[in-house]
Amino acid sequence: MLIILLFIACSAIELQQEFTQFTSIHNKHYSESEYLSRYHIYQHNYNIIHNINSLNLTYHLEPNFFTDLTPEEQASYSMTPTPDIDTSLGYHQMKGLNDYIDWGTLGKVMPPKSQYACGDCYTFAAVGALESLYAIKYDQLVAFSEQELTDCGVMYGQRGCNGGMSNVFDYVANYGIHRPEDYGPFRGYLMDCKMKPNPYFKIGGYVKVQPYNNDLLLNALQTRPVWTTLDSVSPDFLYYKGGVLNSANCGVLPMHAVLIVGAGMDPTSKLEYWRIKNSWGPNWGENGYVRIKMDRGSGLAMCGLNLYPAYPVTIDEAKKIKE
């Protein structure tokens, strides 16, 4: 009995030491009264992470900046499900063959950024899609302004830091988008739309991909990265660190917008996967990315990631679609 008590005491001390390191790494500062409550939250989530990792799945988790947050605080990094207002130019049509591809290794994807505690993930995914479209068209990576889409997307039914959908591309079709140095840096909160002249890039609109169709989604990915939504509130996603996420715990609600940048096969698990760029900074997941198990054919994808896929098109592409 004494040995068991000593083991528990040592484990508690180790966890407290880990929590101290955690607060330093993630620049967390608490008052004396808050410290204990944050530690208990961390302890609870740490145990969840440990239990999932003990199952030896095709992915693994790790404590990150979410681990000492309440579910309500964690939800601020996602978005409230928003009505999907369809103003697209239509649906993607199957063209050519499907194959593995990674736009990141092809040099057409900007590094992951951080949305902070603002639920404007839809703008980060949209800006990522625009940056990649520009890079594919002009062979040059240029950063565009998330703050502009957060501020000005409200003109098209978006809700600033409380969520939005793919029709945020309508703003860029009508007014274009600027670089951060021209519009202003990302602040992490909604500001007044500045409506500046001389945008750096303008598009012709956006195209949707038929939901529940994994083959069409992979085919669309052959042409460019694809904006989409998924369910991000499960511990498996929140604390994801690496591997191919393949979990029945992942829900299907459109709680978070991300950018699909690639597809491939994991050499260890032999699972096919979607490679997805997130907007929780480069320290989350695999340097800011997550790989999620990819299915073929029709049906609901893991984490619901094939419910609302869409991608922006150039002005020339839009003209051809309308002909």
As annotated, the active-site residues are 121, 256, 278
2 forms beta bridges with none
Which class for 1: exposed (0-12), middle (13-18), buried (19 or more C-beta within 10 A)? exposed
Q: Is 31 exposed, middle or buried (0-12, 13-18, 19+ CB in 10 A)?
A: exposed
Q: Do 166 and 308 form a contact (C-beta atoms < 8 A)?
A: yes
- Please name the residue that has the structure tokens 């049906």: 299
Q: What contacts 71, CB < 8 A, 6 or more positions away?
A: 233
Q: Give Cα separations from 151 to 17, 100, 126 (angstroms).
A: 42, 36, 14
Count of other CB atoms within 10 angstroms of residue 72: 7
CA within 13 Å, CB half, 275: 21
**Encoded amino acid at 156, one letter:** Y
231 touches 301 (CB < 8 A):
no
Q: On the CB side of 21, how many CA atoms lie within 13 Å of its CA?
A: 8
Contact in structure between 229 and 256 (CB atoms under 8 Å):
yes
Compute the distance between CA of residue 4 and CA of residue 66 in angstroms, rounded to an integer.
31
Spatial distance between the Cα atoms of 84 and 87, rounded to a whole number of angstroms? 9
123 in Cβ contact with 170 (< 8 Å): no
Extended strands (E) in the chain: 59-61, 101-102, 205-208, 226-230, 240-245, 256-265, 272-277, 289-293, 310-313
Three-state DSSP class for residue 172: helix
